[in-house]
Amino acid sequence: MSRFLSPALSTVTPYTPGEQPQDQQYIKLNTNESPYLPSPRVVAAVSEAEVEKLRLYSDPACAQLLRTAAAHFGLQPSQVMPGNGSDENLFFALRAFCDENHPLAFADITYGCYGVWCGLLHIPTHIIPLKEDFTLDPADYHGLHETIVIANPNAPTGLCLPRDAIEGILQSNPDSVVIVDEAYVDFGGESCVPLIDQYDNLLVVQTFSKSRQLAGARLGLAMGSAALIADLNRVKFSLNPYNINRLTLKAGQAALEDTAYFDKTRAAIMDTRAWTMQQLTDRGFTVLDSRANFVFASTERISGGILYKKLKENGILVRHFDAPRIENWLRITIGTPEQMQALMDAVDKILEV
Ligand code: PMP
């Protein structure tokens, strides 16, 4: 830290992303990326002609992608906003709907960036503990009079609320924005997009990083009433109007259009998830009922931290959070069947089954 850093920033603890090692070939089950390649249509869309156009700025309105996305989700283009990953849209939403006097409510165990951004933006936090079994009690979110963010399915637990539970939260907070982070919804969750026309306080955020194989392209969509989306655009055009680059605009559009590939790959992940959950359960692990492209598991046989280290020594990266309540748990991304078999072989070796 330099002596010039603003004192307000010196107290912010930045998010620690999952390891992205460059030194060694690991089986990477630590950052919830897809093990599958992007759709062949994406590869074709990112053409040489498009690369040559990189000398020109990208379309700040992202008009073509918006039209495709709106048609895909049954919305108007004015109800959709692309972001540089869902991270950017979530950040824009916090900037737009919270401030020193308008706190953000979220669970104690959820996506770590919510709290980090609150630190950066001086937003007070209202942290609501999940129940003992890591489920979220919707009643805890009724009548809060605060902006709310709920990851659904949640990370790192993978647990999911039904749409009507979120609807109850929307109804009991008519004057607050409820942000539903649907980063993992395509792996068995129930999306709240169909509620958008009914609730002007609902903002749904999705990503292309997990179910559309584009984590490295950085693309997400925020969806809500035209008024909420206009608020997000106010932030975007005050910060970085060209936030989505040309190649990503093309890649995202092609990925959205290839619904067959999308359905095939997410079905494969869900099948492999069921297999993985069964294998872990057979070995005495407790595994939460995941609706995401990862599982959250723990065992009395070895501590989460030690298992994480031993798996890494065996060339397999998983995610361990050294945080209260979950220090004994591992979040394991669902890879290909072969990768998950390698994980089980390593677990057996480590536990000497
Ligand atoms: N929300 C949740 C719950 C996540 O787990 C993540 C990424 N790990 C994100 C949002 C951000 O995803 P991205 O910026 O890649 O769209």
- DSSP strands (E only) in the chain: 27-28, 80-83, 104-107, 125-128, 147-151, 178-181, 202-207, 220-224, 286-287, 294-298, 316-317, 319-320, 329-333
Between CA 253 and CA 289 the distance in angstroms is 32
pLDDT of residue 353: 61
CATH fold of 7-37+260-351 reads Aspartate Aminotransferase, domain 1 (3.90.1150)
Q: Is the CB of 89 under 6 A from ligand 1?
A: no
Total count of residues recorded for the chain: 353
Identify which of 180, 209, 214 to mutate to test ligand 1's pocket (most ligand atoms within 8 A of the CB).
Answer: 209
pLDDT of residue 78: 98
Question: pTM for the full model?
Answer: 0.97
Asked whether the predicted pLDDT for residue 8 surpasses 90, the reply is: no
Identify which of 81, 87, 296 to mutate to test ligand 1's pocket (most ligand atoms within 8 A of the CB).
Answer: 87
Cα 206 to ligand 1 centroid, rounded to whole Å: 9
Q: Is the CB of 151 under 6 A from ligand 1?
A: yes
- Residue range 166-195: average pLDDT? 98
- C-alpha distances in Å from residue 30, one per residue of 17, 246, 333: 10, 29, 6
pLDDT of residue 125: 98
pLDDT of residue 211: 98
Q: Is the CB of 87 under 6 A from ligand 1?
A: yes
Question: Chain-wide mean pLDDT for the chain?
Answer: 96
The tens digit of pLDDT for each residue in 11-38 reads 888 988 888 888 778 999 999 999 999 9
Between CA 80 and CA 66 the distance in angstroms is 7
Between CA 257 and CA 182 the distance in angstroms is 19
**CATH architecture for residues 40-258:** 3-Layer(aba) Sandwich (3.40)
- C-alpha distances in Å from residue 316, one per residue of 5, 77, 295, 343: 38, 42, 15, 7
Q: Max Cα separation, the chain?
A: 59
Tell me how far the alpha carbon of residue 130 is from its chain's centroid. 18
Cα 155 to ligand 1 centroid, rounded to whole Å: 9
Segments making up each domain of the chain, as ranges: 7-37+260-351, 40-258
Is the bond leading into 156 cis (omega within 30 degrees of zero)? yes
Pairing assessment for the beta strands 104-107 and 147-151 based on DSSP bridges: parallel
Between CA 119 and CA 104 the distance in angstroms is 11
Cα 261 to ligand 1 centroid, rounded to whole Å: 21
CB 116 within 8 Å of CB 15 = yes
Atom nearest to 156 CA in ligand 1 = 5
The tens digit of pLDDT for each residue in 46-75 reads 999 999 999 999 999 999 999 999 999 999
Between CA 103 and CA 125 the distance in angstroms is 5
Q: Is the CB of 157 under 6 A from ligand 1?
A: no
Q: DSSP string of 154-192?
A: -TTT-----HHHHHHHHHT-TTS-EEEE-TTGGGT---S
Which residue, 277, 344, 281, 352, is CA-closest to 316?
344
